[in-house]
Amino acid sequence: MLRLFTGMRDKTINTVLIFSVAVIFLVSLILSIFILQPSQSHMVEIVQDDTVLYTFDMDQAEDQEFTICYDNGSSNTIRIQNGKICVAGAECPDKTCVSMGELYSKSLPIVCLPNHLIIRFAD
């Protein structure tokens, strides 16, 4: 057994500590599985400032790449390929939206904060 403390009182503390760590691990595992579960929806929305710019049915969408340009001069390049959608390029400082990869889960949309762009599964 893990020897963090010694003595009878300390064994109780060890047991509580190990039990707490196990519970935290299990809750984290269950939440991760729930969050990373693939979406059953095939409808995708591209939204900017609560306005839906585009809607695609990913089962029927043709492979394409297009650019969304903004008033501030920046842009996002969106790629649809093999029924998947991603941000292929962006003119923003951190390019987090590009590194997010393909849209996979309803719980994890692709977000470009500088350009206020969200790519998400539709309800």
Do 61 and 102 lie in a common domain? yes
pLDDT at 35: 67
pLDDT at 42: 85
pLDDT at 107: 80
What is the rounded average pLDDT of the residues 45-54? 94
Q: Strand order of the sheet with strand 84-90?
A: 64-69, 75-81, 84-90
Rounded to whole angstroms, how far apart are CA atoms 111 and 73?
18
- Give the CA radius of gyration of the chain: 22
Do 30 and 65 lie in a common domain? no
Is residue 2 within 8 Å of 18, Cβ to Cβ?
A: yes
pLDDT digits (tens, 9 = 90+) for 13-38: 888 899 999 999 999 988 877 766 66
Do 64 and 106 lie in a common domain? yes
Do 91 and 53 lie in a common domain? yes
Q: What is the pTM of this model?
A: 0.70
